[in-house]
Amino acid sequence: MNKKLRILQLYPKDMNIYGDWGNVLVLKRRAEWHGYETEVLEHDTGDDFPKDIDIVVGGGGQDSGQGRIQDDLQRAAPAIHRLAEKEVPMLVVCGLYQMFGKRFITRQGQEILGIGLFDMETRGGDERLIGNVILQSDEFGEIVGYENHSGLTNLSSSVKPLGTVVRGAGNNLSAGNEGARYKNVIGTYLHGPLLPKNPEIADWILEKACSKKFGDFTSTVIDDRLADSAREIAKTRPR
């Protein structure tokens, strides 16, 4: 029997816009190409938080969706923190990225509590920041994605961003950085979805999950020419 990875998607009913579910599809398909089985689980409000999770993925949502999940997310917070401390890889995008920080204050002044995994907070801004984004990151080289948010995120000085903005807005309009890192947790504003255009990040997540669970990661060479073209095309599109 093949080795199996359990992938958890957080709040797909409320937090899954701009194709964020595609991140789960990419992890599942690439894991299978590398020779692993996968099981995809979903956690929505009211569900019991599942056990034995190897990868956690979460997407973006409207402010209203963030409001709907906030109580349940507080309930799940201890389990998520435990997984993060055990170096389980996670990818959280936009709305859930904001809620992995300490709090999000909407444009209307409503406070939505986060779980404080990243030492950062977000405030709703006056402008929507929309368009293709290019980042440069130490670990993954160039990252290409698409942002659509009005929240402006400020990282505390101890938090490492995912990358430096080459094109686009990123965390806010002045810091020149995008996303956040904590252990094997990646937070980012980048939709697209992110992983089809950035397979290196997908394989990094799989490598972390497999090394932790099975002691090693056996990979195969995957033809990523389509992903490469998608990146190149996104880079030439107007913002």
Q: Which is nearer to ligand GLN, 113 or 222 (CB)?
A: 113
Q: Which is nearer to ligand GLN, 115 or 210 (CB)?
A: 115
Q: Cβ of residue 93: shortest distance to ligand GLN, in angstroms?
A: 7
Q: CA angle, corner 43, sides to 37 and 44, nearest 5?
A: 150
Q: Give me the residues paired with residue 111 across strands.
A: 105
User: Which tokens hold the place of 207?
Assistant: 């490598």
CA separation (Å) from 170 to 125, 130, 138, 155, 175?
13, 10, 16, 12, 8
The answer to whether residue 61 forms part of the interface with ligand GLN (CB under 6 A) is yes
Q: Cβ of residue 229: shortest distance to ligand GLN, in angstroms?
A: 25
Q: Cβ of residue 230: shortest distance to ligand GLN, in angstroms?
A: 20
Q: Residue 145 in contact with residue 197, Cβ under 8 Å?
A: yes
The answer to whether residue 211 forms part of the interface with ligand GLN (CB under 6 A) is no
**Set 34, 43, 149, 191: catalytic member:** 191
Active site (annotated) includes residue 94? yes
The footprint of ligand GLN on residues 144-163 (CB under 6 A) is 148-151
Q: Which is nearer to ligand GLN, 108 or 220 (CB)?
A: 108
Active site (annotated) includes residue 191? yes
One of 60, 89, 168, 196 touching ligand GLN (CB under 6 A): 60
Site string for ligand GLN, 89-108 (x = CB under 6 A): -----xx-------------
The answer to whether residue 62 forms part of the interface with ligand GLN (CB under 6 A) is yes
Distance CA 166, CA 170 (A): 9
Q: Which residues are catalytic?
A: 94, 191
Residues that bind ligand GLN (CB under 6 A): 17, 60-63, 94-95, 148-151
